[in-house]
Amino acid sequence: MVIATPNWDLRVAVQELTVEIAVLTERLEASKDALKVQASEYARRLMELNNAHERAERVLGTYVTRESFEQTIRELEGWRRAVDGDRASSSGRNSTYTSVIAIVFALAAVAAQVWGAIH
């Protein structure tokens, strides 16, 4: 059996503390490296979010508000009613002109027959 001496215990304790210090130093370095990686990842994500926000702003700039859309629809519906009304009255006039022209040609044909019968 080996009897431990105070020097022996002190040397073992120093070695154990040296190992523990080395382990803690490695952990500290690993933590620093992990923080650097995390910081670069956060910077990348922030840049990505900023770019996404800018893209969203550009897309939103192309949208039309509901109020503007509804106003445009009301104006188009009013224009459509006016055009339909003009077409209806124009169609009625055209059919009237066609009827008058047909009557004139019919009268001319009758006049030609009467004229031909007289002469």
Q: Is it the case that residue 117 has pLDDT exceeding 50? A: yes
Q: What is the mean pLDDT of the chain?
A: 85
- State the pLDDT at residue 86: 75
Reported as a single tens digit per residue, the pLDDT across 15-36 is 999 999 999 999 999 999 999 9
Residues 69-97: tens digit of each pLDDT? 999 999 999 999 888 877 777 666 667 77
pTM for the whole thing?
0.40
- Integer CA distances (angstroms), 35 to 40, 42, 48, in order: 9, 10, 20
- Sketch the domain layout of the chain as residue ranges: 1-63
